[in-house]
A and B are shown apart, each in its own frame.
Chain A
């Protein structure tokens, strides 16, 4: 069996870590690293019978993730100290939110840039407050800057001059040019507070955002990790609130993201063995391509299936902007000598 299959089987509880041979671990460790899930796996398998070398490596990963999370949460506090005096309220998104709220998917989860959501009318003031508090523009070219400001759901990234950490200030969760327009006012208005007093999206919106980020926005880079987030979030919220799936369905429909939420739930069932609520099962032939894209890694952790990757890359842009605008954007990028295949999921 391929290493990526073994990885998801271990996470889903379909495979027993004790039965893996050393050569199997080689591949699983490489693939988990490539998916930024090694520390997640280390948490998931912490009390199982592991070979001593794997147990030692996993202990390293858990310790490193603890430090990285403490640093990420410190960055959250730094943002609060910059924005609170100006009366700007912000909602934490993604990794920082999961960690601040102590959710199970945050165990071992890598947290990249700090993502925050503010009301659209506060964006300019938030930008100024951050610039005054030591953040600065990441050097970028005028077209990228224009593009972000005109069409994106976030400001161009800011980096702190001393701590060297990035912050992305969002005013909604999908690009403004995207075919779907989530209700940004509701996202902020219905946010809930953590025990430490930080705001995070309400449980339904948190899963909707996770699904939107994975299915409706990006090209499924890092998709296994995002899908794991979605799986853990919905499983835990549903076990605390029997009505959760129904509320999620309604909330996703309100944001225009019902399809993304349902597809995420089906993929979580297919890949991580999640329990699908009644009425959510549906046969969609395209799920096959999503599954293939999610599992497109060889035993050395390298991306495979180049054409499928490209297809998802083009799809992500197709959803993000109308055709004429896409053509103009790609033409500008091409003339500037950017290589679209090497760019991430940002404005390219």
Chain B
């Protein structure tokens, strides 16, 4: 392909190829401070391409391809090329990664121990993790948390945080503008702006953390904490995992060990400050 970039996020090394320069330039700008190991081949490949040659210039639209593809995925306008790259990277990890049990969850860590936040989009798990990551927590990731079947540890996947809609204003007020990507307005997922995690979180991206707390946040409603049994946490996390079935017995063993060794709670919160306070409270009371 005409343009390409290689980046590494946590244990995954990506090769991203594009028919246009712009998405590659945007990715390189966002990931410029991530550790590089150019002697290492890529684990996953993403293609950003024009379906017809003239569509490179004429109403350019970016199709997302790669090792793994979703049939009939809609293309994005070139101005959203960065989002296309992000979606392509997520897709390769979600469908192709087999080394670890993959949880669709955000995570933060302190003193080598991790809080895993699992929830559907709109639950606020990304925003909560991003906000905690600006305090005295290390952001491990806003999208995927990887569980090592051998050790039971959580591994970080600290890609650039994908801030959406209201979360954009909430975060831009707090962080250095140099850590923000361009505003992508009116995408199929609403407004999006990327936030580069703090330098210490990126530097520690290969450092595992022991799971200490599993939370299922729900944005909206009164502040509430609901203890959750191992069985329910297990079932919810199978639904939050894209490779649980593919890993077979190893996936079952890793997940069973995770829910048996880690207290789990559902939390509801009306605003971010309350959500953060609930996390701190549960951390102080129950994390082990």
Closest CB in chain B relative to A138 CB, distance in Å: 15
- Of the candidates A22, A26, A57, the one whose C-beta lies within 8 Å of that of B45 is A26
Q: Evaluate contact between A30 and B67: CB separation under 8 angstroms.
A: yes
Instruction: For the complex, give the distance between the alpha carbons of A70 and B18 in Å.
Output: 38
Interface residues of B (CB under 8 A from A): 1, 13, 15, 17, 38-43, 45, 47, 65, 67, 98-99, 246-250
- Across chains A and B, the number of contacting residue pairs, with CB separation under 8 Å, is 56
Which residues of B have CB within 8 Å of A71? Answer: 248
Which residues of A have CB within 8 Å of B98? Answer: 60-61, 63-64
Which residues of B have CB within 8 Å of A57? Answer: 41, 43
5 residue pairs, one from A and one from B, having the closest CB atoms = A25-B41, A67-B248, A64-B98, A60-B98, A53-B40
Closest CB in chain B relative to A307 CB, distance in Å: 15
Q: A29-B45, A34-B67 are in contact. List 8 more A-B contacts (CB 8 A).
A: A22-B38, A30-B45, A51-B39, A53-B43, A54-B41, A60-B98, A63-B250, A64-B98
A157 contacts partner chain B, Cβ-Cβ < 8 Å: no
Contact A53 to B13, CB < 8 A, known contacts A29-B42, A30-B45: yes
A68 contacts partner chain B, Cβ-Cβ < 8 Å: yes
Interface residues of A (CB under 8 A from B): 22-23, 25-26, 29-30, 33-34, 51, 53-54, 56-57, 60-61, 63-64, 67-68, 70-71, 300-302
Closest CB in chain A relative to B70 CB, distance in Å: 14
Instruction: For the complex, give the distance between the alpha carbons of A71 and B39 in Å.
Output: 36
Residue among B45, B67, B249 with max Cβ neighbours from chain A (10 Å): B45
Q: Evaluate contact between B41 and A300: CB separation under 8 angstroms.
A: no
Q: Evaluate contact between A26 and B47: CB separation under 8 angstroms.
A: no
Q: Evaluate contact between B1 and A300: CB separation under 8 angstroms.
A: yes
Instruction: For the complex, give the distance between the alpha carbons of A61 and B13 in Å.
Output: 16
A20: nearest residue on chain B (CB-CB)?
B41
Instruction: For the complex, give the distance between the alpha carbons of A70 and B245 in Å.
Output: 12
Contact A53 to B41, CB < 8 A, known contacts A60-B98, A67-B248, A68-B246: yes
Which residues of A have CB within 8 Å of B40? Answer: 22, 51, 53
Q: What are 15 of the A-B contact pairs (CB < 8 Å)?
A: A26-B42, A26-B45, A29-B42, A30-B42, A30-B67, A51-B40, A51-B41, A53-B40, A53-B41, A63-B250, A64-B98, A64-B247, A67-B249, A300-B17, A302-B65
